């Protein structure tokens, strides 16, 4: 039996991570078993265990990967003169609200992560420093602003999307997004301490 190249294994692992991220965000952690993830990825269940030791291992890797990707977006936007405005407008948009599978991992899973295993929670926490630094820079927050302050500002984005997704009235949902934009802009204009 031929062994796969390390490049092939990396591509397969990335495909599993991407597929799992979409499924976890859209169906939740409990609604997404290994068999469903692997089926979505077009792979067998047996292939799973050559990449991950357990579903919790996969969840941990997904949240680390997704937080890193979010930090990448924030870092790139921080280099643009209107980057913060574009991020706020895109994050607090009906498009992001409606894109459960492709949206922010925190907005989709934060409530579930609070009930996840200690290992999954620790891995999420391990990914946060880079995201905190990226959001601090994007938002133009003072280096003296504590991580708690930075996360509280980021929480306005996350919580606003969560509330906007939870209501059935489209007009109210859009109004929540618009109010979140106003609130975050006012908080950030206040200095960031």
Q: What is the pLDDT of residues 127-157, one digit of tens each?
A: 999 999 999 999 999 888 999 999 999 999 9
pLDDT top residue among 5 and 38? 38
Residues 103, 24 contacting (CB under 8 angstroms): no
Helical pair 105-113 and 6-27, crossing angle rounded to 10 deg: 70
Structure-token match 């498009």, residue found: 95
Euclidean distance between CA atoms 36 and 23, whole angstroms: 8
Average pLDDT over the chain, rounded to an integer: 93
Residues 97, 177 contacting (CB under 8 angstroms): yes
Cβ burial, residue 138 (10 Å; 0-12/13-18/19+):
buried
Return the H-helix or E-strand segment holding 82. Answer: none
Residue 1 has pLDDT above 50, yes or no: no
Question: What class is the 54-189 domain?
Answer: mainly alpha
How much is the pLDDT for 142? 87
Residue 104 has pLDDT above 70, yes or no: yes
- Token pair, residue 38, equals 């692997």
C-alpha distances out from residue 86 to 51, 77, 123, 176, Å: 36, 8, 29, 18
């Amino acid at each position: 039996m031929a062994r796969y190249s390390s490049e092939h294994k990396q591509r397969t692992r990335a495909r599993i991570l991407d597929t799992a991220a979409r499924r976890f965000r859209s169906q939740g952690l409990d609604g997404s078993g290994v068999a469903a993830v692997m089926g979505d990825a077009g792979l067998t269940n047996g292939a799973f265990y050559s990449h991950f030791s357990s579903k919790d291992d996969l969840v941990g890797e997904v949240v680390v990967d997704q937080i890193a990707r979010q930090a990448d977006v924030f870092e790139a936007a921080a280099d643009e003169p209107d980057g913060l405005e574009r991020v706020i407008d895109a994050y607090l948009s009906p498009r992001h609200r409606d894109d459960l599978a492709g949206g922010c991992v925190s907005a989709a899973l934060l409530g579930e992560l609070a009930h996840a295993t200690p290992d999954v929670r620790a891995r999420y926490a391990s990914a946060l420093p880079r995201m905190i630094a990226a959001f601090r820079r994007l938002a133009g927050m003072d280096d003296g602003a504590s991580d708690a302050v930075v996360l509280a500002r980021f929480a306005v984005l996350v919580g606003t999307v969560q509330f906007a997704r939870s209501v059935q009235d489209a007009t109210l949902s859009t109004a929540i997004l618009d109010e979140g934009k106003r609130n975050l802009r006012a908080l950030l204009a206040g200095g960031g301490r």
